[in-house]
Structure 1
Amino acid sequence: MKLCVIIPLCALFTLTHQVPSQDKCVCDLTNSAKAFPHDKLSTVEDNASKCNGNVTPKKTLELESLMLGLERRLPQLQEDVSVLEREDDGELYGVLSLLVIENELTEIKQLIDKLNMTSQRHQQLTTDTTEQLEDLRAKMAELQEYDTLQVVKRQQANQRLKRDLDQCKNEHQLIPHPTQPPQGICPHGKFVNVTGPEVYTPGEYPGSYMYGAWGRDPKPAVGKENWYWLVMMTSSNRYSNYVRLYSSLSSLIVGVSTPGNVLIHSSNPTTNTVQGPNVVLYGDALYYNCYNKYAVCRFNLATKTITTMQLPEGTRFNSKGNFCHLDECYQYTDLDLATDESGVWVIYTTTQDFGNLVLSKVEEGEQPTFNQTWHTSVYKQAVTNTFMACGVLYATRYVTKEVEEIFYSFDTSTGVEKFNIGIFIKKISPNIYSLNYSPVDQMLHAYCNSFMVSYKVLFE
């Protein structure tokens, strides 16, 4: 039996190897479908990318900021005209009031000119974008004919389903508010949210100075109630030697500085000039980290005099105790100055506190001092910014390039700390290098990669 099996297998093996090689079978495959136009798809992708680059939220905010500046400027003009009318003695108007109105009209004209130019650019952009989108839609309809397996159609159906599910889910979620709002005595009520941005402008020097700060004086001198201030780090992104003043928000938006710069010193940097972007203006005086010192300087804009307040031994300075997130630390942010309804505060850290935030209140006077100090349990380099509102310290942290979170609070009236605030700030640029609260109008003024941005603080 075994022999009978072996013989046929050997014969088959021999026969297989004796088949001539020229008898191989060859098949021709003919595809009746049209070849996919890869070059056309590549063109559509390039055009879509250009369209996305041309239309950005920043351009919309630019127009909104100009409108806001004009909206705030016109009532001021009306008020000044009323003052002028009251000064009429039948023969002669007040010369000074006429000069003020002339300057205001010049600024308003510049603001309107910039608004018209921006509006025209946006109209042209809208027209161009509409034409591009129609062209893209037509080309994509042509390309969809090649989708014989209907893959794209199924993906679109899945996207619609996912969108409907997300919408259904969001409708049943409450707007995020603090789980337990900070308890403190505040004339406005409890701090519950931040909206905006409401102002977004590159100012006079678009893209020139990455670090800086801006805002309003909560305790302005007479005649400076509507002024805004700006301090830019003009040397190595670290130092500055002047504060720049603007007579109104519209002046700041269009980049017309009146009365201009107030010099701290002719050299930059040098003794008692500004180090780091976290500065504030209060009572017509600039408070900031003195150059190369663990001390706070107060520069009086009227008298041009400087007084210093020494911080405790062991205070971190010279970029050793910065605000940070996982990817970056903000250089020379060791000291953060803040203002609220009660005055000026300084936020810092020391070696004795193992890098945790320390908060001190500035006692005003001819020689300012630190009145009281509080110690917290939040690590400074886990924080990206701080600000004060109604005697409560708030700290932020980096979430994404588009979102910053106010996650922490410390109530100086009760000593209670909270780590679950959960208020989110919509960012225009990835990094906020300074954040100041203005008790005058309950706004947060942020300086972000050379742009000035403001947000509205909502109280319950």
Structure 2
Amino acid sequence: MLQILLFLQVALTPALAWIPVEDWGSGNVNASLGESGQCLCHVYLPDTTFPVDRVQHMQQVSKDLILEVEIQMDKMVSYEAKLDVYLKELADLTVRVAMLESDSDKYIKLDFELLRIELREFEFLVSQLKDSLNSSSPMFDSLFTEIHNMTLIVNQLESYDKSNLDVIRIEFAKLQKKLEECQKDQEFIKPEIGNCNHTGIMSISKPTVVQLNAHLNAGYQYGGWGKDSKPLRGYESMYFYGAYSSPSVHDFYLYSNYEKLIQRSAFKHHDITYGWEGTGNNYIVHGNTIYYQHGTPLSMTKLNLTSSKYDYRVIPAVSEQFSYSYSDNQHMDFAADENGLWVMYASIASKGKIVLAKIDEKSFGIEHEWNTGVYKKLAGNAFMACGVMYATRSVDVNTEEIYYAFNTKTGEEKHLNIKFNKFQDRYTNLDYNPTDKKLYMYNNGYYVSYNVGFNKE
């Protein structure tokens, strides 16, 4: 069987695909016989330069488009999840609006709840006044009785009747005036902001349990709340809150004042930009900027709440082996006090003991560091007040203890025994605020606060 081999000799092979066969023309095709009897076919194509550079460009554009499509698809998945949450919240709001439309006086329930909270704060204030004066008098007993009676009246008259609420407000104003007169008569002077004329913390008040978090979900165990420790003018009353079901930082809320916090009515909701999400729970707001832990390697990161500008600084010494006893991933703990901004962490070099570092707010760098004697894994949390680091630990399910203090001015260490009550066993955020001399704790999904008593001697 005679096999005829056909060889096509093409000068510019890629160009062939661009020209239809019917357009080749007979003058461009010649046939001849080779030395071994093979049939050779010669095809001559027009001298057209193939646009290789444009094809390569198109290939790169195609890759970029595919990558962009994947990113957008990921965003769509994220938006879909958020949409489900928003739809659920919208359904809840629809129910609440329907209730308000059916009875416009039902909003009064919130006012009664605010009254209860303020009465509890009055009770703690009277207790603090009594302790500070080391005194027990009929006047204090009378105030306690009036506060107790007011609480009973609030409970009894919670019928959502506006006239009843007006009566309560009048009585409440009288009680408030009495308390102010009592403070004035006993020369009770409220501590000035930034005043560190004392020898350290002497006592912690009973906890003020404000309420469950704004998500109304006890499953949001990781997070924090509180006030700006160096507020801008006009934002002195602002509160922040952010909480999650895992140790992370991906969004948070701002409230113009305490009442708006209780009402869960935020004036701003910040979503942390993709790629800038944080981990851990020990974040704070200081100077209209949120400071939190982020990334691998671990870095201290900040977000300006006005400009929405991010920045970060890596601290190479931070070790992921050491966290507080109540939660994983709390490798960097931010704090603020009368002296400025701080960060606490543990390293391999420090053998797991807390290293205290002062942050330069302008350069966003570390000014100075101190090695403390606190093994981080044994501590529940730590905070700063007047240049002194205080560490806490659990005594039992209901009791926490400040057991250690380190003074950055003198380098002196002290072992303390300052016990205070916890609302629930575990908490993930504890910070002192120099503007109101309070401790803010995020305790198993609840807002909790404490008044701090300093030793004036």
Same fold, judged at TM 0.5 (above): yes
Cα deviation for residue 250 of structure 1 reads 1.7
Which residue of structure 1 aligns with residue 364 of structure 2? 368
Matches of 1:316 and 1:122 in 2, distance apart?
56
Inter-partner Cα distance in structure 1 for 2:400 and 2:258:
25
Would you say the 8 A contact 1:65–1:253 is kept in 2? no
Change (3 A) 1:445 1:243: same
- Please state if 1:230 is matched with 2:282: no
Alignment partner of 1:306 out of 304, 310, 318:
310
Is contact 2:333-2:344 (8 Å) kept? yes
Alignment: residue pair count: 282
1:190-269 → structure 2 map (5 Å cutoff)? 190-207=200-217, 208-233=219-244, 236-258=245-267, 260-265=268-273, 267=274
Residue 359 (structure 1) aligns with: 356
Q: Tell me the distance in 1 between the aligned counterparts of 2:453 and 2:226.
A: 18
Deviations 1:29-74 (A, max 9, x none): xxxxxxxxxxxxxxxxxxxxxxxxxxxxxxxx99742546899xxx
Q: State the one-letter code of the partner of 1:241.
A: H
Which is worse superposed, 401-410 or 192-201?
192-201
Which 5+ residue runs of structure 2 have no aligned equivalent? Answer: 1-112, 124-149, 160-194
1:417 aligns with 2:425: no
Kept after mapping to 1: 8 A contact 2:121/2:208 = no
1:229 & 1:69 partners in 2: Cα distance? Answer: 20
* Cα deviation code 1:140-199 (max 9, x no counterpart): xxxxxxxxxxxxxxxxxxxxxxxxxxxxxxxxxxxxxxxxxxxxx923553211102134
Q: Are 1:391 and 2:411 counterparts?
A: no
Which residue is equivalent to 1:321?
322
Change (3 A) 1:68 1:300: farther
1:301 to partner: Cα distance: 0.7
- SS of the counterpart of 2:262? helix
Q: For residue 119 of structure 1, report the CA deviation from its aligned partner.
A: 4.6
- 8 Å CA contact 1:356–1:380 kept in 2: the answer is yes
- CA 1:283–1:66 in 2, change beyond 3 Å: closer, same or farther? same
Counterpart Cα distance in 2 of 1:310 and 1:295: 4
The offset of 1:298, in angstroms, is 1.1
Tell me how far apart the structure 2 counterparts of residues 291 and 119 of structure 1 sit (CA, whole Å): 49
The separation in 2 between residues aligned to 1:255 and 1:369, in whole angstroms, is 35
Pair 121,361 (structure 1): closer, same or farther in 2 beyond 3 Å: farther
- 1:295 is the counterpart of 2:299: yes
* Matching residue within 338, 342, 360 for 1:341: 338
Question: Residue 65 of structure 1: which of 117, 129, 139 is its match?
Answer: 117
| Percent identity over paired residues | 31
TM value normalised by structure 2? 0.57
- Three-state SS of the structure 2 residue aligned to 1:381 is helix
- State the match for 1:87 in structure 2: none
Secondary structure (helix, strand or coil) at the match of 1:193 reads strand
> TM-score, length-normalised on structure 1?
0.57
One of 257, 273, 280 as aligned partner of 2:277: 273
- Quick check: which has more Rg, 1 or 2? 2
CA distance in 1, matches of 2:158, 2:305: 44
Correspondence 1:396-411 to 2 at 5 A = 396-411=392-407
Taking the aligned partners of 2:398 and 2:424, their CA distance within structure 1 comes to 7
In 2, are the aligned partners of 1:203 and 1:254 still within 8 Å (CA)? Answer: no
Q: Alpha-carbon deviation of 1:305?
A: 0.9
- Structure with the larger RCO, 1 or 2 (CA within 8 Å, 6+ apart): 1
Task: Give the letter aligned to residue 244 of structure 1.
Answer: Y
Residues 387-432 of structure 1, C-alpha deviations (whole Å, 9 max, x = no match): 0000000000011111000000000001111123x11121111112
Deviations 1:298-320 (A, max 9, x none): 1111111111122133x113xx3
Compared with structure 1, are the counterparts of its residues 300 and 118 closer, same or farther at alpha carbon in structure 2 (3 Å cutoff)? farther
Q: Report if aligned partners of 1:387, 1:393 keep a CA contact under 8 Å in 2.
A: yes
Distance 1:262 1:428, change over 3 A: same
Higher percent of residues as strand: 2
Provide the residue aligned with 1:382 in structure 2: 378
1:187–1:410: structure 2 CA closer, same or farther, 3 Å change rule?
Answer: same
What residue identity is the alignment partner of 1:230?
Answer: Y
Q: Secondary structure at the match of 1:222?
A: coil
